């Protein structure tokens, strides 16, 4: 009788473990952000308080910077590489970001916002 009990528990355990693994992966959202001369895409990044997100920063043309002063973020984005930045917002707010590496005439317009909602 004990053998039959173990057999019945095993499939249930597998379902529970698979569900737990899926929940962890689903909790971390990935947002691709591209940089190229004078713009970021998307220009507005929407996040929610307490939800982990990974920004995958890539450059389409040359070296750029991704600076969010109020979040103490200052990353370099190299062409041909992905810079991963994990964020877990802890309060609702709007944070301005900009390119921190001069990329030519129009550089000062290369900016966007991270909008964190409750």
Q: Which candidate, 58, 59, 46, 64, places its Cα nearest to that of 102?
A: 64
> Both ends of the chain: CA-CA distance in Å?
53
| Statement: residue 26 has pLDDT above 90 | no
Domains, the chain, with CATH or none:
15-117 (2.60.40.420)
Structure tokens at 68: 């969010």
- Tokens describing residue 98: 């900009």
Q: Please state, in angstroms and as integers, the Cα–Cα distance from residue 115 to each residue in 20, 90, 95, following that order.
A: 29, 12, 6
What average pLDDT does the structure give for the chain?
84
C-alpha closest to that of 78 among 87, 88, 96, 65: 65
**Confidence bin at 19 (pLDDT 50/70/90):** very low
């Amino acid at each position: 009788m004990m053998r039959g009990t173990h057999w019945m528990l095993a499939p249930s355990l597998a379902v529970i473990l698979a569900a737990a693994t899926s929940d962890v992966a689903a909790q971390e959202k990935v947002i691709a952000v591209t940089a190229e001369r004078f713009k970021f895409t998307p220009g507005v990044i929407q996040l929610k308080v307490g939800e982990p997100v990974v920004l995958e920063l890539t450059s389409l043309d040359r070296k750029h910077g991704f600076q969010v002063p109020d979040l103490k973020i200052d990353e370099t984005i190299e062409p041909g590489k992905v810079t991963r930045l994990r964020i877990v917002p802890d309060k609702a707010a709007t944070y301005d970001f900009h390119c921190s590496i001069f990329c030519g005439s129009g550089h000062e317009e290369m900016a966007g916002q991270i909008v964190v909602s409750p």
